């Protein structure tokens, strides 16, 4: 049985956000919910500034506190290491969200995608309504609805339950890469079986010294970061006394 992991190469990542857009369309993710997200940080004072961009997602921790906190086992581990959620078992208590130290679990406070349910035209006499646009596009709730998401989860999760990244388990089980990996124009995301020493992820983890987010907590995250983007240059100098 493989154990899936992702490597994110921060030297290759250009911070374009394609991963997040791809994730949103692949998984029909509602507004205000971010299965794929980022940490940004600017440091220094102009002109000596640095900007850090770290893509984030569920870390599919081996020792997952979200799973331990769930009273109904709605949040659970698959044999391949993916941390999965079952909305049918979820009672919306949000223990998983409180227990996850990474802030990657979101609660559906409202019926998802309310914008696309509006029946009034955005520009009266000029456009159709969002609901009509969805109907004409043949979508379910949203015009860009992806029916393949239904293979392992409700295509759109209902109000009152949590949701988060699943490493695109519905694609992985068909031998496809998570869609954020597929969509990354810089090949900064590398996905594969960490238990196979010949996989690309294993080779990269052997070649570079990786770090993981908050690994001191003992959660054993399976999203690894390597290298660091550094476009800066400076005039050679020996300093001074």
Nearer to ligand SF4, 92 or 143 (CB): 92
Residue 157 CA to residue 215 CA, distance in Å, equals 30
Q: Is 105 in the site for ligand SF4 (CB under 6 A)?
A: yes
**Interacting residue with ligand SF4 among 74, 168, 180, 181 (CB under 6 A):** 74
Q: Is 94 in the site for ligand SF4 (CB under 6 A)?
A: yes
Nearer to ligand SF4, 106 or 229 (CB): 106
Residue 214 CA to residue 54 CA, distance in Å, equals 13
Token digits of residue 85: 């959620």
Shortest reach from residue 62's CB to ligand SF4, in Å: 9
Q: Is 59 in the site for ligand SF4 (CB under 6 A)?
A: yes
**Interacting residue with ligand SF4 among 38, 54, 80, 92 (CB under 6 A):** 92
- Give the HSE-up count for residue 103: Cα atoms under 13 Å, Cβ half-sphere: 7
- C-beta separation of 10 from 228 below 8 A: yes
Tracing tokens 């070649």 back to the chain, one arrives at 207
- C-beta separation of 97 from 108 below 8 A: no
Which residues contact ligand SF4 by CB under 6 A?
A: 58-61, 64-66, 69-70, 72, 74-75, 83, 85, 90-96, 100, 102, 104-105, 162, 164, 219
């Amino acid at each position: 049985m493989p154990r899936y992991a992702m490597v994110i190469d921060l030297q290759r990542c250009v911070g374009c956000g394609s991963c997040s857009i791809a994730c949103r369309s692949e998984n029909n993710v509602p507004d205000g919910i971010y299965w794929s997200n980022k940490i940004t940080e600017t440091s220094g004072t102009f002109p000596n500034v640095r900007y850090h961009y770290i893509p984030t997602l569920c870390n599919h921790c081996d020792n997952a506190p979200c799973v331990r906190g769930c009273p109904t086992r709605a949040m659970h581990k698959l044999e391949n290491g993916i941390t999965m959620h079952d909305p049918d078992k979820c009672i919306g208590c949000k223990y998983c969200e409180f227990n996850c130290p990474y802030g990657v679990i979101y609660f559906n406070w409202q019926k998802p995608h309310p914008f696309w349910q509006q029946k009034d035209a955005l520009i009266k006499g000029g456009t159709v309504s969002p609901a009509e646009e969805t109907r004409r596009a043949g979508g379910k709730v949203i015009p860009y609805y992806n029916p393949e998401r239904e293979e392992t989860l409700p295509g759109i999760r209902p109000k009152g339950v949590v949701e988060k990244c699943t490493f695109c388990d519905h694609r992985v089980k068909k031998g496809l890469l998570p869609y954020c990996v597929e969509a990354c124009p810089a090949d900064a995301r590398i996905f594969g079986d960490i238990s196979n020493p010949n996989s690309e992820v294993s080779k990269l983890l052997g070649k570079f010294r990786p770090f993981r987010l908050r690994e001191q907590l003992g959660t054993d995250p399976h999203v690894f970061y390597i290298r660091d983007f550094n476009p800066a240059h400076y005039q050679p100098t020996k300093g001074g006394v």
